[in-house]
Amino acid sequence: MQIDSFAKINLFLEVTGRFCNGYHGINTVFCSVSLCDRMRFALTKKGSLKLSSNIPDLNTQENLVYRIARYLVDRFDPSYGVSIDLIKRIPVTAGLGGGSSNAAVTLKVMNTLMKLAIEDDELHEIGACFGSDVPFFLTGGIAQGHGRGDQIVRLPDLSIGNILLVNPGFEIPSREAYNLVKIPKTPMHWDVVYSVDNVFNRLQDAVQTMYPAVASIIDEMKQNGAQNAIMSGSGPTCIGLFNDSEKLLRCKEMFSALGYWTYKVRTIGHDEYQQCFQNSS
């Protein structure tokens, strides 16, 4: 079975507090986008579990994909093992949710392939144990995330066709980004009517102070035709929202010439997202 594992962007991210376990409370709006990894699953002999990737550093038992696969095999003792091939296109530790997306795909596909019959509510509970973003990637489309980001409420789809992703080439661990932020006394709230003016990321100011390249990318996108630009998630990937594809492509070429990773994406609606699981072969 072969399936795409889509990235996400955050159109809104507010930090609302900090829990006693160290996690931060957030209010965020996740949105699936067309950048994706490719994953291949094949049933093997009972008890066998193998993970391979085009990025050798990901071929480890610490990878979320391996950890979830091992959990399912150990807990449900299926009649088969599984071999997983992960072809990465989404930058790692980049604020695009690639690892959580891979984990969610692994949950859904193994549930189907191995006939585990896990209900959706339990899939979400399992996913949340492995990563705050994983429950969103079980749903896809556009959704609001509360709590640690693991409490998901679907929102109406948004069709945004000209989005530029720019990554400066370094990693920012989520824990570092959240530890930099000052929790506001009065958190902002998402305006349910989307516009380019109400995108927001509370982590951005704190991260920009430590990583000036993020501020530079955002400023350059705005100066080169973006209606608005913000950092996605915990960064460092930045997103530019354009109403003109030619301006986007010129901006993309400019950043690519500087050696930055760039990618043009569009939003993916809930039905299109879920259809990938039904069409996988």
User: Does 141 score more than 60 pLDDT?
Assistant: yes
Domain at 29, CATH number: 3.30.230.10
pLDDT-derived band of residue 271, with 50, 70 and 90 as boundaries?
Answer: very high
End-to-end alpha carbon distance in the chain: 5
CA angle 172, 176, 182 (to 5 degrees): 125
133 is a catalytic site residue: yes
- Strand 261-265, strand 200-201: pairing: unpaired
User: Does 194 score more than 90 pLDDT?
Assistant: no
Task: Examine the domain organization and report whether 186 and 253 are in the same domain.
Answer: yes
Q: Can you give the pLDDT at residue 191? A: 72
Task: Catalytic residue, from 4, 8, 247, 264: name it.
Answer: 8
For the chain, give percent helix, strand, coil, nearest 5.
35, 30, 35
Q: Please state the pTM of the whole predicted model.
A: 0.95
For 108-136, give the DSSP string: HHHHHHTT----HHHHHHHHHHH-TTHHH
User: Does 21 score more than 60 pLDDT?
Assistant: yes
Q: Can you give the pLDDT at residue 92? A: 94
Residue 81 lies in a domain: yes
Token pair of 156, please? 């109406």
pLDDT-derived band of residue 203, with 50, 70 and 90 as boundaries?
Answer: very high
Q: Can you give the pLDDT at residue 73? A: 95
Task: Examine the domain organization and report whether 117 and 223 are in the same domain.
Answer: no
Task: Examine the domain organization and report whether 246 and 174 are in the same domain.
Answer: yes
Q: Can you give the pLDDT at residue 72? A: 97
Distant-in-sequence, close-in-space partners of 242: CB < 8 Å, separation ≥ 6: 162, 163, 164, 225, 226, 227, 248, 251
Whole domain around residue 105: which residue ranges? 2-154
Q: How many domains does the chain have?
A: 2
Specify the residue for token string 């093992």: 81
Residue 280 lies in a domain: no
Give the residue ranges of DSSP H helices in the chain: 64-76, 98-113, 120-130, 134-139, 174-180, 203-210, 212-223, 245-257, 270-279
Task: Examine the domain organization and report whether 149 and 169 are in the same domain.
Answer: no
Residue 277 lies in a domain: no
The alpha carbon of residue 186 and the mean position of all alpha carbons in its chain are separated, in whole angstroms, by: 27
Task: Catalytic residue, from 4, 37, 133, 150: name it.
Answer: 133
Task: Examine the domain organization and report whether 97 and 144 are in the same domain.
Answer: yes
Amino acid letter, 46: K
The alpha carbon of residue 31 and the mean position of all alpha carbons in its chain are separated, in whole angstroms, by: 8
8 is a catalytic site residue: yes
Residue 274 lies in a domain: no
User: Does 74 score more than 70 pLDDT?
Assistant: yes
Task: Examine the domain organization and report whether 26 and 148 are in the same domain.
Answer: yes
